[in-house]
């Protein structure tokens, strides 16, 4: 969904007999439905996760703070996808103005950086909780976790500034539409963007996540640590975190690999019409696979996180409690009224008026 000036709106690779438009048209026909599906499921799922974290009775743990911010970043991203679903359905005609063109794509770019950094933080938190349970750290305090989250949002916004500056809406004569596209002042900016995403979004976080994951799995296999206070609860949360990390790597690793190959193509290390066509198609497919991660995460909490399910039940029971109280009061009042009515009917049947006369006791008429 990032279009440069050198690319047409329905990309065509044409060099001699090398023309591929049918595949692009087929892919463009599937994109709006897929984006709409991701958006709907992501908004519902991440919205419910945020409700549980915000309305639960107990204060949020450090892991809850990180996962809650991750859910909010995913929610912002999936809320932006309908703009592109509508745009692609209209052959890339952008009808939402230049300001939204900048804001929507800046929010999508922020989601990428913020998501991976929040996962790094939650990995470090699980490592400290399981591998070093007897060594308290400032990083495991809620106040420090909140400060770290503010810092990550600031970093994500800083790294997304190029998307805000260089996104614009312009008219394309070939397609006859006003398109929201990304145009850099120099082709080298494209390489800088690719390298920034690969290094800061994958190369640096991956070893940290791998190191923490190794020690988390090692600690989970160590049965002697279960006797320590609080470790059993930490183990439950760690299973959820490991699942979220595995799905994240599954969804985002292909995107990073294709981005790296796109960088090699710029230096003409790999070239060719067919190769360029495959690379462009792969970039689109892996991008949507990465976007799907934002819709999958909240349902992992429900499927894997037993503790989360328990908290969700408590929150919804709390929300529905006034309704249940009213219904119970109505049922109680109705039962009491029916019982009193029943007693009065019995009394009416049993009480018989009598009159005492000179003859004796007789029924009164």
Is 8 part of any domain? no
Is 97 part of any domain? yes
**CB-CB contact of 73 with 293 (8 Å):** no
- Average pLDDT across each block of 10 residues of the chain; the chain has 365 residues. List them in order: 40 49 77 93 92 81 89 93 92 92 92 90 86 72 90 94 91 87 84 87 90 84 56 65 87 90 76 74 88 90 74 79 54 50 47 48 48
pLDDT given for residue 358 in this prediction: 52
| 235 SS3 class | helix
> Distance between CA 110 and CA 115 in Å, rounded?
8
pLDDT given for residue 130 in this prediction: 79
Domain total of the chain: 1
Nearest partner of 229 among 134, 307, 125, judged by Cα: 134
Q: Which residues contact 306 (CB under 8 A, 6 or more apart)?
A: 236
Its sign, for the CA torsion 66, 68, 71, 75, is: negative
Is 342 part of any domain? no
Give the structural domain span for 217: 19-319
Is 361 part of any domain? no
Is 77 part of any domain? yes
Q: Which residues contact 136 (CB under 8 A, 6 or more apart)?
A: none
Is 27 part of any domain? yes
Is 282 part of any domain? yes
> Distance between CA 233 and CA 12 in Å, rounded?
54
User: What CATH number should be reported for the domain holding residue 171?
Assistant: 1.20.1070.10
How far, CA to CA in Å, does 142 sit from each of 61, 137, 200? Answer: 7, 11, 25
Largest Cα separation within the chain, whole Å, is: 131
Tell me the whole-structure pTM to 2 decimals. 0.77
Is 148 part of any domain? yes
> Distance between CA 34 and CA 292 in Å, rounded?
9
pLDDT given for residue 217 in this prediction: 82
| Residue 70 exposed, middle or buried by CB count within 10 Å (0-12, 13-18, 19+) | buried
| 56 SS3 class | coil
């Amino acid at each position: 969904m990032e279009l440069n000036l050198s690319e047409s709106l329905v990309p065509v690779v044409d060099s001699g007999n090398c023309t591929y438009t049918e595949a692009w048209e087929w892919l463009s026909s599937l994109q709006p439905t897929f984006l709409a599906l991701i958006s709907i499921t992501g908004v519902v799922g991440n919205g419910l996760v945020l409700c549980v974290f915000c309305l639960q009775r107990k204060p949020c743990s450090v892991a809850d703070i990180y996962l809650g911010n991750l859910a909010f970043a995913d929610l912002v991203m999936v809320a932006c996808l309908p703009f592109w679903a509508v745009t692609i359905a209209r052959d890339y005609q952008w009808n939402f103005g230049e300001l939204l063109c900048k804001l929507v794509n800046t929010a999508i770019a922020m989601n990428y950086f913020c998501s991976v950094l929040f996962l790094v933080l939650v990995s470090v938190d699980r490592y400290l909780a399981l591998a070093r349970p007897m060594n308290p750290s400032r990083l495991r305090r809620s106040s420090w976790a909140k400060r770290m989250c503010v810092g990550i949002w600031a970093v994500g916004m800083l790294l997304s500034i190029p998307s805000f500056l260089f996104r614009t809406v312009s008219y394309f004569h070939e397609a006859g539409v006003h398109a929201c596209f990304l145009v850099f002042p120099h082709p080298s900016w494209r390489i800088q963007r690719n390298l920034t995403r690969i290094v800061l979004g994958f190369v640096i976080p991956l070893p940290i996540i791998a190191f923490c994951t190794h020690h988390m799995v090692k600690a989970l296999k160590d049965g002697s640590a279960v006797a320590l206070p609080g470790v059993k609860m930490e183990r439950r949360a760690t299973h959820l975190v490991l699942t979220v990390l595995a799905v994240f790597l599954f969804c985002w690793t292909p995107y990073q690999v294709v981005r790296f190959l796109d960088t090699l193509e710029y230096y003409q290390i790999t070239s060719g019409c067919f190769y360029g066509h495959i690379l462009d198609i792969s970039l689109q497919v892996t991008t949507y696979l990465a976007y799907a991660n934002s819709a999958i995460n909240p349902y992992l909490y429900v499927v894997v996180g037993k503790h989360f399910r328990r908290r969700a039940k408590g929150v919804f029971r709390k929300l529905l409690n006034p309704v249940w109280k009213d219904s119970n009061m109505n049922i109680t009042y109705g039962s009491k009224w029916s019982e009193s009515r029943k007693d009065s009917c019995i009394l009416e049947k049993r009480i018989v008026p009598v009159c005492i006369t000179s003859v004796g006791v007789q029924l009164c008429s």
